[in-house]
Structure 1
């Protein structure tokens, strides 16, 4: 049974939540029984209840309880498969069982110092006190779990009207948003993340507070900002979360390259600006994802034209150009992602895709030489599948004939890549002679000359394709003789 404790609860949503929770009775029922045997209450809480109501509950379950952390750990140690301290100083213990990750936090009634987002942890005595301190009303619901004669009963608690917010697909704070965001400015980023993940809007008072308090985001570390931005970008509609950050001025403080694109009219002088174009490219790139959300592809799609504001030039005859915006954009994003403490691999991949996204437009159908194809594949490397998706997504023209021509031209390029790959190993283009062979043929010791010779042979391989060994050796000797004539001397033997 599901005991609805709120007059505001729509029966359809309660039925959906009940069905979701009952489906997890094997793990939830056992856990509730363990707490009940000790006379302790256990509540499914927060995002887990919200997701149960929405019918999207995953494998991460959040609980709260009046039990102190040491008691929770003792219970979990005797029941779960694996137990670890997520943040026992903050009252949280985690465990794993039956494929579910479980996090249990003791009732809290924290206070904040107003300077950082780190609370002074204070344990609470009531469920309601714990719920009203949470970030949003939709996350401030709980379901009490009890076992009666082998049957799990669930009682719904909604002291601040969170279910009504879910019905209206709205994010609002339990207390005044100014208080909530002053306590923890990260909640402003979480609002944008939930907009992206859940398809909710924000209450007007929340948006107003985010706008007026945008500078408070400076209290949040780069690492925490990065985590929230990635969760936002991996949501179902990341452009909605980005729009919220841009419209409230928060994006200007944490990722100014994004709102800067609003200032740039695109090269077609249509009604949309580069920002709107980038949002469309993001949507179209997501349509091409094969195996779930692709963070690198999404960031690259959103940011591919971020170099345009710095490279905009108005032509005397009308129109506007953005020469080398891909080069400038790649440098801008490399610096920004470093500042946000992104992993080196993410930085390299996103910036390289931005750098390469215009390469295709330098050629028309029938103009791709074998050398150009090799260089395109070589420069993209493992990013080639993502580059294909990004370039195709970058076509947002309303001119159907032009759009069809661009897609047809890229089809031709992919056919050329497939044809050349059938004859050559395009995925691993390397010189026809390795470093040891170069040293033996030219009588060199390890040093920069070997590296220059290797680079020459690599360029030769890209330009001409695979060579017979004798021809490669002859080309190497010719190059080396020219090097010596130009004054490049081999290192003296030590």
Structure 2
């Protein structure tokens, strides 16, 4: 095909893409048309904009739609009041009115022409008068496209459609200007790489590398939100690698680039960073192997990425060229807890991820099935509700290229899971508790509620884990024996 034919073909593809975007927009009609008529009748323009247009072109338009308009916030309120089923004003100081109708959530924002002091993140909010002025201040060209809802025409002043076709991330203004205005956009570039498989333009990568430290202007809560979206993306490894390669990770999760340990010819071990990325890939694959409808698992993916962050601090060179990482799971769990707290993750996420990191090596003591039933019970009890995730994490942690060794490890874990299932069926492992409850302990020991009851309960639970279920007389005899050893007095 000659150059002219190639250009014509590209133009046809672009035209078709525009038609597809408009067709996808019409899918939400009559809602969008109703809204357009209300704004048009009042003398205002209305555009579907940003991620909504990008997703329409990708064939994945959601029920959350973003619009922009020349109408001011108070005018938007008047136009949607009485039409929408619900209206909220939480973002009105930034020009945004929220509304809901027919199962669709709408955000309608006045054209923006903000300016930034480039010290904090929040701009001095200023309203604009044109769609072009609004689009130039957006983060990436693929998010700087719009559809005029009234005329059903496509608006693309910055080549977003071409960038979308090339799966490229670039900025409407220069990357330096864009990131100086809002450094969070650098992390958003990594997030879009993970979510959509886009490659940042070379000038974007250069600017991210030069300006990585600017991310420290952003609050931990906002950083955490973007990082979480990255981690649950379709290809989280891409986003992590971009963060590490540009130096952004040094200011967000420095423990991840910290896993890139120097390896010399005398002390061979796996590249911990690359190993962790492979574990993340394999955890993502295991998430939906048996159920493709499952949502991405943030806790499992964070644990997969961070499970070995304790290795740099525990690396020891052994005589003869060996390398050890003794207790790296203990150190790693502490580091995970510290980092996730700094990123303002919820208590549940912090506890769950750190516990998975702490437990991820436990299986390697299983060998060829040498564990007693007591050890299996403890494994299940310590994991608690995290057990399904622990199964996936342990399996994902097998990255050896030795097929025979990998197969042996998977068979061993198959055996462990089979034993867990057998013992669970026999003993209801999900509810492992002492064979005497607190009330009976107090009655038998003739004590009031307090520390003695807790100690007795804990002792009986340990016996339960070691020996399995006891009948009532055995449990009472064990309590009496323990009480006598503690000098608590006869439990007659």
In the superposition, the TM-score normalised over structure 2's length comes to 0.93
Q: Tell whether the 8 Å contact from 1:264 to 1:274 is kept in structure 2 after alignment.
A: no
Consecutive unaligned residues of structure 1, counting only runs of 5 or more, are 1-5, 147-152
Of the candidates 98, 103, 115, which is equivalent to residue 102 of structure 2? Answer: 98
Residue 67 (structure 1) aligned to one of 71, 81, 92: 71
Flag structure 2 segments of 5+ consecutive residues without an equivalent.
Answer: 1-9, 289-293
In structure 2, what is the equivalent of residue 43 of structure 1?
47
Task: Please give the alpha-carbon distance, in whole angstroms, between the structure 2 residues aligned to 1:55 and 1:421.
Answer: 45
SS at match of 2:469: coil
Equivalent residue, structure 2, for 1:442: 445
Alignment match, 1:149: none
Compared CA separation, residues 327 and 307, structure 1 to 2 (3 A): same
Contact 1:267 1:321 in 2 (8 A): no
What is the CA deviation profile of residues 370-395 of structure 1, one whole-angstrom value per residue up to 9, with x for unaligned ones? 10111011001101111111111111
Residue 480 of structure 2 is aligned to residue 477 of structure 1: yes
Is 1:63–1:102's contact at 8 Å kept on the other side of the alignment? Answer: yes
Q: Is the CA contact 2:194–2:230 (under 8 Å) kept in the aligned structure 1?
A: yes
Q: Does 1:154 align with 2:152?
A: yes
Equivalent of residue 327 in structure 2, options 302, 324, 329: 324
Q: Structure 1's 266 and 306: CA in aligned 2 closer, same or farther, altered over 3 A?
A: farther
Partner of 1:294: 297
Q: What is the match of residue 368 of structure 2?
A: 365
- Asked if the contact 2:223/2:343 (under 8 Å) is kept, the reply is yes
How many residue pairs match? The answer is 475
2:415 maps to 1:412: yes
Q: Distance in 2 between matches of 1:185 and 1:154?
A: 34
Give the Cα separation in 1 of the matches to 2:372 and 2:347.
Answer: 33
1:205 matched to 2:203? yes
Pick aligned residue for 1:353 from 352, 356, 368: 356
Residue 186 of structure 1 corresponds to 184
**Cα distance in structure 1, aligned partners of 2:369 and 2:54:** 55
SS of residue paired to 1:102: strand
Q: Check 1:380–1:368 CA distance in 2 against 1; reply closer, same or farther (3 A cut).
A: same
Equivalent in 125, 141, 164 of residue 145 of structure 2: 141
SS in 2 for 1:247: helix
Distance 1:268 1:429 in 2: 48
**1:411–1:221 distance in 2 versus 1, CA, 3 Å:** same
Q: Give SS of 2:149's match.
A: strand
Q: Show CA shifts across 1:305-342 (max 9, x none).
A: 11111111122112311111111100000011111111
Q: What is the aligned partner in structure 2 of residue 422 from structure 1? A: 425
Say whether the 8 Å CA contact 1:267–1:320 is kept in structure 2. no
Question: Structure 1's 402 and 219: CA in aligned 2 closer, same or farther, altered over 3 A?
Answer: same
d(CA) in 1 for partners of 2:375, 2:74: 65
2:215 to 217, 234, 240: 217
1:138 CA displacement:
1.0
Over the aligned positions, Cα root-mean-square deviation in angstroms equals 1.9
CA distance in structure 2 between the aligned counterparts of 1:319 and 1:271, rounded to whole angstroms: 8
3-state SS, counterpart of residue 65 of structure 2: strand
Matches within 5 A, 1:22-33: 22-33=26-37
| Conservation of the 8 A alpha-carbon contact between 2:97 and 2:109 | yes
Q: Structure 2 CA distance, aligned partners of 1:317 and 1:430?
A: 47
Partner of 2:232: 234
Task: Specify the alignment match of 1:17 in structure 2.
Answer: 21
Aligned to 1:391: 394
For residue 112 of structure 1, give the secondary structure of its aligned residue in structure 2: coil
Provide, for residues 397-431 of structure 1, a one-character-per-residue CA deviation record: whole Å limited to 9, x for no partner. Answer: 11111111111101100110111111101001111
- The counterpart of 1:467, out of the listed 467, 470, 488, is 470
Equivalent of residue 118 in structure 1, options 122, 130, 152: 122
Task: Name the CA shift for 1:265/1:428 in 2 (closer, same or farther; >3 Å).
Answer: farther
Q: How far apart in 2 are the matches of 1:32 and 1:424?
A: 63
Residue 266 of structure 2 contacts residue 321 of structure 2 at CA under 8 Å; is this kept in 1?
no
TM-aligned CA deviation for residue 144 of structure 1: 0.2
Residue 451 of structure 1: CA displacement? 1.2
Secondary structure of the residue aligned to 1:446 is coil
Distance between the aligned counterparts of 1:234 and 1:333, measured in 2?
18
Looking at structure 2, the residues matched to 64 and 91 of structure 1 have their Cα atoms a distance apart, in angstroms, of 10
Q: TM-score, normalised by structure 1?
A: 0.93
2:22/2:147 contact within 8 Å kept:
no
